[in-house]
Amino acid sequence: MQIEAVRGDITTQDVDVVVNAANSTLLGGGGVDGALHAAAGPRLLEACRRLRRTTHPDGLAVGDAVVTPGFDLPARWVVHTVGPNWNRDQRETADLASCFARSLELAVEVGATSVAFPAVSAGAYGWDVDEVADVAVRTVRAWEAGSEPADEAGHTHPAGVELVRFVLFSDAALAAFRRALDAPHR
């Protein structure tokens, strides 16, 4: 699997899946969430409202993920994941790692070979971008290695994902992810 970090706009990525750093309501917000909803068009909001009416009436839990079509995006699907909010004392790295693992699981389920991630929980949710980068890269590498049938949270490992691209919003975030990618595997 190729793992890379680029500076760019996640809404324009030509990949099978883009990951949305969503809030638990699934009804749009600011940052990546707002940008993806705007770029995907109104059908994305309707799909999220349908999820709220059916499978997720109480919203999406921290660390979990759900998939919708990408509608007007270049990506075929959007995987919405809710990262932990540091500012609300949600500081478990396992919850953050789960965002990346669950997103990859759903990408595999829909047959995706390429996935673009933002820096989930960095920015408005207050996590240090270096920590987000470290957790994200370690989680994806664990998936790539697939050395165990499932991790401690019960997440399965990938089949078919060929590209994971971290699409970062700033030079500082890009530098953090490049440092994490350059770090020796643990």
List, by residue number, the catalytic residues: 33
Q: What span, in angstroms and rounded, lies between the C-alpha atoms of 80 and 83?
A: 10
Whether 126 and 91 have beta carbons less than 8 Å apart is answered as: no
CB count in 10 Å sphere of residue 183: 13
Q: What span, in angstroms and rounded, lies between the C-alpha atoms of 85 and 171?
A: 22
Q: How far is CA 158 from CA 73, 92, 114, 170, in A?
A: 24, 23, 12, 29
Please name the helix (run of DSSP H) or strand (run of DSSP E) that holds residue 39, with its range, or none. Answer: helix 31-40
Q: What span, in angstroms and rounded, lies between the C-alpha atoms of 119 and 19?
A: 10
CB count in 10 Å sphere of residue 112: 23
